[in-house]
A and B are shown apart, each in its own frame.
Chain A
Amino acid sequence: MATAHQPPSTAPHHPAAGAADTAAPALESAFDAAVAADERIEPRDWMPDAYRATLVRQIAQHAHSEIIGMQPEANWITRAPSLRRKAILMAKVQDEAGHGLYLYSAAETLGASRDDLLDKLHSGRQKYSSIFNYPTLTWADVGAIGWLVDGAAITNQVPLCRCSYGPYARAMVRVCKEESFHQRQGYELLLALSRGTPAQHAMAQDAVDRWWWPSLMMFGPPDAESSHSEQSMIWKIKRHSNDELRQRFVDICVPQAESLGLTLPDPDLKWNEERGQHDFGAIDWSEFWSVLKGNGPCNEQRITQRRRAHEEGAWVREAAAAHAVKHSERKEATA
């Protein structure tokens, strides 16, 4: 599962490009012209410091979301109820680790280091998507995550395939292909449950009831409260507003829920003929802000597990580094 996030509005607002930039105005206007012409900015191209900082923050947050996002699903690998489902789930969690790798590599093209970004994740200085602070309580949650969480992530990410920064855009092409498999497996898992025994159907409905609203929150706060959206739009890092993407997602999900034979937990959800879109109920933003601030059901657990894996793996990474040094010294000695 992955969640390309909108730039979080809690992060410090960067001053407009230029304050720290000493580059000749010609470079800046070449950059602006390239972005305006929908050309790709590549790692060796000149770019404003604030553009670089915004991308590092967004790509890092996306990478962190991939690796934290492994946890809620890995929670069910050892209990998957059939060998086919177990294979699919393992492959999906593995894909997420792979997405993390591509994304940290994309951030490295901007001069960031993976170790430094991981430190920022572990110390809470960088965030990951809040959706992963909710628990996976039943097997059906694996399906709901695939259908809704990955579905919301794809809605966010497809436009990122046209992002102005080349390495990020190219990573997203591959990520989106895999995410669409993830979304389909989630839908198919829920369909099997919905058409299964009454207990399985109830399990599927319960999971959708719990994951629907948090999935809508994945698009970030309403446009009026989203502080860096405007600059990201000009830079073509972001191409649609939070509310536009959220609406698109709701309109996609409604008929899919019907096909699944499941209901979405919103009594105000209905087709608006005039707008040609669905109306939906008010989102409880106090929950969103509260989870973001660390009060979600699993914030502590997720970051603790991540830190522990990293700390317990330190001796392995040190050994690999020490071995590499010895190996190259021996090579030199025999050369």
Chain B
Amino acid sequence: MTPTPVSPASPGAGPAPTTTEAPALHAAALALGDDALVLSHRLGEWAGHAPVLEEEVALANIALDLLGQARVLLSLAGDEDELAYLREERAFRNLQLVEQPNGDFAHTIARQLYFSVYQTLLYGQLADTDSLLAPLAAKAVKEVAYHQDHAEQWTLRLGDGTAESHERMRRGLDALWRFTGEMFQPVPGLDLDWQGMREQWTARVTEVIEKATLSVPEGPQSGAWTAGAGREGLHTESFGRMLAEMQHLHRSHPGASW
């Protein structure tokens, strides 16, 4: 398929699409691509800081899988580097969950748990559709099943480890809970069973958290005015700083090739 270029500043405002599926497909590729791109970046920040050498390898591996997915998805929406490096904060369509700073290892694992269960369900459903994204989803679902396993294993170890790790894991799960509702806002262009996904996600996450001797957080799953916000280009304050770091070199040399 030929990707239709999207104007970096306002995705979706590119040249007239050739098929009726194109705008919705681009919006979907952008949403999922931005999720993968941004989480990959956050995980990349762990390099050299992980608690044990095996986790240097594991976190980098997950980051690389996600970056690979992001590159395929963004290329469906336009030029991968223009989209990654030349869009402003408000043009990104990722969930607020994935842009949240790493925090401690438990915080990162909580983010991984929430997101990887979601991504496994989403790609699993998407792989069975006739969407142009189905082939990517079929390949990626195998990768994200491993990410889910990694996050679940660590949730169990930390939750049911020492008193300190239990408390840290609880804090991580609680702090990120309010970013989880957004995941189930339907993404335009993805004809999926969002309500069913929400139920399956809740069931799985509940099972893992309880097995880890913790409780499912009780607060709301979205902020007062932020339901669906990331998908609409509303982000949290740390995201602008993340992009400033990510984009500065590319933007410092306009038109250069690397």
Interface residues of A (CB under 8 A from B): 67, 70-71, 74, 77-87, 90-91, 93-94, 97-98, 100-101, 104, 139, 189, 192-193, 196-197, 199-200, 305, 308-310, 312-320, 322-323, 326
Tell me how far the C-beta of B139 lies from the nearest C-beta in chain A, rounded to whole angstroms. Answer: 16
Report the separation of the CA atoms of residues A77 and B63 in the bound assembly, to the nearest whole angstrom.
11
Asked whether B162 lies within 8 Å of A315 as measured between CB atoms, the reply is yes
B residues 54-78 near A (Cβ < 8 Å) are: 54-57, 60-61, 63-64, 67-68, 70-71, 74
Say whether B199 faces chain A, with CB atoms less than 8 Å apart: no
Contact code string B39-54 (vs A, CB < 8 Å = 1, else 0): 0010011011111111
A87-B71, A94-B60 in contact; A82/B48 too (CB < 8 A)? no
In the complex, per-residue mask of B240-258: 1 if CB is within 8 Å of any chain A CB, else 0: 0000011011100101111
Q: Is B253's CB under 8 angstroms from A320's CB?
A: no
Question: Do residues A305 and B48 form an inter-chain contact, with CB atoms below 8 A?
Answer: yes
Decide if A90 touches B67 in the complex (CB within 8 Å). yes
Chain B residues with Cβ under 8 A from A319's Cβ?
157-158, 161-162, 164-165
Q: In the assembled complex, which residues on chain B have CB atoms less than 8 Å from the CB atom of A318? A: 161-162, 164-165
Interface centre among B41, B60, B245 (most CB of A within 10 A): B60
B168 at the interface (CB under 8 A from A): yes
Interface residue count for B (Cβ, 8 Å)? 49
Contacts A78-B44, A97-B57, A199-B253 known; A312 to B51 CB distance under 8 Å?
yes
Quick one: closest A residue to B246, CB to CB?
A78
**With A70-B48, A70-B56 as given contacts, are A81 and B250 in contact (CB-CB < 8 Å)?**
yes
| Contact, CB under 8 Å: B44 / A82 | no
- Knowing A94-B56, A319-B162, say if A87 contacts B64 (CB, 8 Å): yes
Q: How far, in whole Å, are A87 and B250 apart by their CA atoms in the complex?
A: 15
Of A71, A104, A200, the residue contacting B53 (CB under 8 A) is: A104
B88 contacts partner chain A, Cβ-Cβ < 8 Å: no
Task: Evaluate contact between A197 and B44: CB separation under 8 angstroms.
Answer: no
17 more A-B residue pairs beyond the given contacts A93-B48, A310-B51, A316-B52, with a C-beta to C-beta distance below 8 A: A74-B48, A83-B67, A86-B67, A90-B47, A94-B56, A94-B64, A100-B53, A101-B54, A104-B53, A189-B258, A193-B258, A197-B253, A197-B255, A199-B256, A316-B158, A318-B161, A322-B165
Alpha-carbon distance between A100 and B255 when the two chains are bound, in angstroms: 38
Q: List 7 A-B contacts (CB under 8 A).
A: A78-B245, A100-B53, A309-B48, A312-B49, A315-B165, A316-B105, A318-B165
In the assembled complex, B232 has its CB within 8 A of some CB on chain A: no
Report the minimum CB–CB distance from B161 to chain A (whole Å): 3
B89 within 8 A of A: no
Interface pair B162/A81, CB less than 8 Å apart: no
Residue B205 lies at the interface, judged by CB distance under 8 Å to chain A: no
- A119-B141 Cα distance, complex, nearest whole Å: 40
B42 — nearest CB in chain A belongs to which residue?
A: A78
Q: How far is the CB of A250 from chain B (nearest CB, A)?
A: 29
Report which of B60, B81, B160 forms a contact with A90, defined as CB distance below 8 A.
Answer: B60
- Shortest CB-to-CB span from A171 to chain B, Å, is 15
Check: B80 CB closer than 8 A to any chain A CB.
Answer: yes
Q: Does B173 interact with chain A (Cβ within 8 Å)? A: no
**Cα separation A124 to B57 with both chains bound (whole Å):** 25
Task: Give complex CA distance A90, B47 in Å.
Answer: 8
A309 near B156 with CB under 8 A, answer no
Closest to A80 in B: B249
The distance in angstroms between the C-alpha atoms of A100 and B55, with both chains bound, is: 12
A78-B258 Cα distance, complex, nearest whole Å: 15
- CB–CB B256/A197 < 8 A: yes
Provide the residues of chain A in CB contact with B151, threshold 8 Å.
none
Chain B residues with Cβ under 8 A from A98's Cβ?
57
Q: Are A313 and B64 in contact (CB under 8 A)?
A: no
Complex: A67 Cα to B55 Cα, angstroms: 13
Interface-centre pick from B57, B67, B165, B258 (highest chain A CB count, 10 A): B258
Q: Is the CB of B258 within 8 A of A309?
A: no
Residues of A within 8 A of B157 (CB): 319-320, 323
* Residues in B neighbouring A78, C-beta threshold 8 A: 41, 44-45, 245-246
Checking A84, A86, A93, A313 against B52 with a beta-carbon cut-off of 8 angstroms, the contacting residue is A313
Report how far A189 CA is from B258 CA in the complex, Å: 7
Partner of B51, one of A71, A83, A196, A309: A309
- A residues less than 8 Å from B84 (CB atoms): 83
- Chain A residues contacting B256 (CB-CB under 8 Å) are 81, 196-197, 199-200
Check A93/B105 contact, CB under 8 A, given A81-B253, A316-B165. Answer: no
Q: Which residues of A contact B85 (CB under 8 A)?
A: 81-82
CB pair A85 B258 closer than 8 Å: yes
Q: Which residue of the partner chain, among B61, B161, B168, B246, contacts A320 with CB atoms under 8 Å?
A: B161
Contacts of A196 in B (CB 8 A): 256-258
Residues in A whose Cβ lies below 8 Å from that of B249: 79-81, 139
Which of A71, A101, A320 is most buried by chain B, counting CB atoms within 10 A of its CB? A320
Q: Mark B127-167, 1 if CB is under 8 A from A, else 0.
A: 00000000000000000000000000000111011101100
- Shortest beta-carbon distance from A304 to chain B in Å: 12
Task: Give the chain B neighbours of A316 by CB distance below 8 A.
Answer: 51-52, 55, 105, 158, 165
Chain B window 78-122, contacts with chain A (Cβ cutoff 8 Å), 1 for yes, 0 for no: 001100110000000000000000001100000000000000000
Query: Given the complex of chains A and B, what is the CA–CA distance between A80 and B60 in angstroms?
Result: 15
Q: Which B residues are CB-close (under 8 A) to A193?
A: 258
